[in-house]
Amino acid sequence: MFTKKSVTGVIGSGAMGSGIAQVAATAGHKVIVYDNSESALQKAENNLKSSLTKLVEKQKITRDQQTQVLMNIRFVSTLQQLSECDLIIEAIVENLDVKKTVFKELEKIVKETCVLASNTSSLSITSIAAACEKPGRVIGIHFFNPPTLMPLVEIIPGVASLENITTSSKALIDSWGKVTVRVKDTPGFIVNRVARPFYSEALRIYEEGIADIPTIDWAMKEIGGFKMGPFELMDMIGHDVNYIVTETVWKQFYYDPKFKPALSQKRLLEAGLLGKKSGKGFYDYTPGSQTPEATKNKELGQQIFTRILVMLINEAADTLYLKVASAEDIDLAMTKGVNYPKSLLKWADELGIENVIKQLTALKDFYEEDRYRISPLLKQNFILKKAFY
């Protein structure tokens, strides 16, 4: 369906949109980037040139390759200029109504064979497609930030998406050098669903006063092997993004307590303390500020790490149980999409399913909350003495 001559459109010239455009252009496709803001387009073009120049200086691409990528990308300020596209990837604000409006307008402009894709991280592809007269050509193609560096892309067919659209879209993104996983259209898909406990359980531990923020981050890095602690990562992502994704997933799962947001993070958002981008979040990033020291107690650190890990494993198991994706794709998504040090389901096998269930049972018995209910798949594997791999 797609060839080297296929033209890719990108809606939105922010970090995600520009990154996706660079990936497609580097793969040899003609790319048209649309934004309704001339200043945003100019900024995106300047950033692209700067980014490519740095890659040349680091000898990761040649000067000729830089020239070719720049020749492949065109920046436009009217939707009508996307009419020649074979694929359009929308990468704008995470607002369902806004996305529906854009897709409805696109259908009036593009040719009948054009595939319409959303880069949404948590909204329903089926809902977005419902705005179109031909929902079969709408699909989710979710890149991770920054798209030029992160290898994972989630491919999400909606209920109405045609199978040939799904398979050809996956093949195209594979040809761009990305690692793709196929996901059912459920809230958060794989990564933004399975990763929720990394943040929410850390926030719960903090709110209960079991440990402070630097200690929790230290435990997950030093004992767990994660590259960043949950609070460092939330600050880097920005609470205007991370909290909103949590709240969106929670609401879309009919307020399931497993995904309940934390008040401490909501208060930061309300105060405009968004993390690194605003200078303050859970940590203070203003010049001269000092990060508090962690309490490097190995026993406490092990308790923190184990509690968060078993919650992650439980969610990964439930995602597999509900057939959101295959075991291989779930583990691939978490290692390639958010750089987890190990595959969660393989980690479960290493720990032993019995030990995972024992830890979760202790949490459920103590708190008496449905938040800690155990995935039926974990119970099933325990009864059958079956490992995930």
Catalytic: which of 122, 124, 192, 242? 192
> Which of 357, 341, 335, 353 is CA-nearest to residue 389?
353
Residues shown for the chain: 389
- Give the other-Cβ count within 10 Å of 326's Cβ: 13
142 is catalytic: yes
121 is catalytic: yes
Which H, E and C letters describe the chain, residue by residue?
A: CCCCCCEEEEECCCHHHHHHHHHHHHCCCEEEEECCCHHHHHHHHHHHHHHHHHHHHCCCCCHHHHHHHHHHEEEECCHHHHCCCCEEEECCCCCHHHHHHHHHHHHHHCCCCCEEEECCCCCCHHHHHCCCCCHHHEEEEEECCCCCCCCEEEEEECCCCCHHHHHHHHHHHHHCCCEEEECCCCCCCCHHHHCHHHHHHHHHHHHCCCCCHHHHHHHHHHHCCCCCCHHHHHHHHCHHHHHHHHHHHHHHCCCCHHHCCCHHHHHHHHCCCCEHHHCECCCECCCCCCCCCCCCCHHHHHHHHHHHHHHHHHHHHHHHHCCCCCHHHHHHHHHHHCCCCCCHHHHHHHHCHHHHHHHHHHHHHHHCCHHHCCCHHHHHHHHCCCCCC
95 is catalytic: no
Alpha carbons 151 and 312: distance in angstroms, whole number: 21
Tokens representing 86? 């074979």
29 is catalytic: no
Catalytic: which of 121, 161, 200, 381? 121
Catalytic: which of 124, 142, 232, 315? 142
Alpha carbons 192 and 199: distance in angstroms, whole number: 11
Q: Assess contact for 131 and 100: CB atoms under 8 A.
A: yes
**Burial class of 4 by CB neighbour count within 10 A (0 to 12, 13 to 18, 19+):** exposed
Alpha carbons 79 and 108: distance in angstroms, whole number: 10
Catalytic: which of 13, 124, 154, 232? 154
Catalytic (active-site) positions: 121, 142, 154, 192
